[in-house]
Amino acid sequence: MHIEGIRACVLNLGLKTMKTEDLINKLARDAKPTRTLSPLSSRLFLWVFVALVSIGIGVAIFGMRPDLTQKLGTSNFMLENAAILIIALCAAFGALVLSVPVGERKTRIKWLPAIGVVIWFGILVSKLFTSQIFHLDCGFSCIRDIALLGFIPGALLFYMVKKGASTHPGAAGFLAVLAATSFGSLGVQFLCKNDEAIHVLLWHLTPALLLGFIGYALSRPLLRW
């Protein structure tokens, strides 16, 4: 039975199982040379490298779209990919910034990926209005591929965030998964033949954003410290 817990909750006495002075002595005795976290830039670089390699392998395994060479020459396709890359990099950067204790002002960084989202959304909406083709199809396989391709980068980034000590775990978890699913979406751009704006909007962009909430939900059990 958690006697201290009962003491605190029932009698409002607090968890004074140890005097603060004794605790300080104990913590000081426990102090050993500490290896500090690597600089943010090197952690980000490592993550981007692993993410690119894993997405590359994933795309090779799932099979690239047949018209990829042709697509790589179109500015719209490249612009979309650049926007996705911006989302992924900004989200990963934000997750790593928030992986250590930071003040409230720095948490504004969580909005950074919005730049990429707005660009991608803008491209898709403009395509939607100019294109004559407009039919809804089912893209569950795209969601599956985003999740599969983003799994390794997501797990790695979550681990990197956990190695810190986040004072904003919800935002850090959301950004970590958003970064991974954005990379997943980038991979899906190389797999999925359907370039229609409505398809990309509904089955590539929206799931990438929504899956981020899984990171938010996971932050509570996984990023506690």
Partner 1 sequence: MDSERDRKFSIMMAQAQNGNQIIYEALLKEVAVVMSGYLRKRIYDHAFVEDVLQEILISLHKAKHTYKPESPFMPWLFAIAEFRLIDFLRKYTKIRNREVTGLEVEHSYDPAVDAKKEDLSEKMDAALSALTPKQKKVVELLKVQHFSVKEVASQLNMSESAVKVNAHRGYQSLRLKLGVEDDEN
Applying CB under 8 A, among 63, 66, 103, 221 the residue interacting with partner 1 is 103
Per CB under 8 A, 108 contacts partner 1: no
Per CB under 8 A, 15 contacts partner 1: yes
Tell me how far apart the alpha carbons of residues 9 and 5 are, in angstroms, rounded to a whole number: 6
Shortest Å distance, C-beta 31 to partner 1 = 4
Count CA atoms closer than 13 A to 108's CA, side-chain side: 2
- 């996705």: which residue's tokens? 84
Q: Which stretch binds partner 1 (CB under 8 A): 162-170, 182-190, 195-203, 211-219?
A: 162-170
Amino acid (one-letter) located at 79: L
Per CB under 8 A, 72 contacts partner 1: no
For the chain, the C-alpha Rg in angstroms (whole number) is: 22
Count CA atoms closer than 13 A to 179's CA, side-chain side: 32
Q: Which stretch binds partner 1 (CB under 8 A): 8-16, 65-73, 128-136, 154-162?
A: 8-16
Q: Which stretch binds partner 1 (CB under 8 A): 72-80, 126-134, 150-158, 159-167?
A: 159-167
- 């968890």: which residue's tokens? 15
CA-based nearest residue to 63, from 152, 141, 177, 154:
141
Binding site for partner 1 (CB under 8 A): 1-3, 5-16, 18, 20, 23-25, 27-37, 99-104, 164-165, 167, 225
